[in-house]
Amino acid sequence: MKQEYREAFEEVYQIINLMPNELRRKIPLKFYKMIEEDRDTNYKITIVEPIEKQVLKYETIIILGLIYRDFLCSPEEKQRLKDKDQKALKEAKEALEKEISEKNKIFNQVESQEDTSNQMMIVVEDNEKWYKKLFSLLKRVFKRK
């Protein structure tokens, strides 16, 4: 496991231990044990209240959000948050598809321009008369000897 996750688990562990017992009991014991076992005990951080003023790792904030959504909030709030997540995911997916589509258009334009330039070069080469080609070939052969 990456070090930043182990440190985030330590921060989460410290925060869970600051929670009132009624909230702490809502977190499944298996989840709590996983955090406890995978945390970096050498990472020293002092969590002070209020937590809003505490500077936390990005990973810690994400994990706390998941804990809140999955274990601590009401069923209505959980559904609202899931809907919000799905909407954000859909918007991100649409934006990514739009970006990919725009890049494909640019790529296809460049590719078609290259095809046109190659065709133009072929046309120029095809306009040269056969006897001129033969004459230049003979010149090259005799110049070498």
**Residue 28 above 80 pLDDT?**
yes
**Residue 98 above 80 pLDDT?**
yes
11 and 68 fall within a common domain: yes
Q: Identify whether 25 is part of a domain.
A: yes
* pTM of model > 0.75: no
Q: How many domains does the chain have?
A: 2
Return the sign of the alpha-carbon dihedral for residues 55, 61, 67, 70: positive
68 and 121 fall within a common domain: no
Domain range for 39: 3-72
Give the pLDDT score at 125: 54
Q: Identify whether 39 is part of a domain.
A: yes
Q: Identify whether 86 is part of a domain.
A: no
Work out the end-to-end distance of the chain between its first and last CA atoms, rounded to an integer number of angstroms: 72
Residue 116: which pLDDT band, with cuts at 50, 70 and 90? low
Give the pLDDT score at 16: 93
- pLDDT above 90 covers a percentage of the chain that reads 40
Q: Identify whether 84 is part of a domain.
A: no
**Residue 145 above 60 pLDDT?**
no
105 and 52 fall within a common domain: no
Q: Identify whether 79 is part of a domain.
A: no
Give the DSSP letter string of 15-58. Answer: HHHHS-HHHHTTS-HHHHHHHHHHS-TT------SSGGGS---H
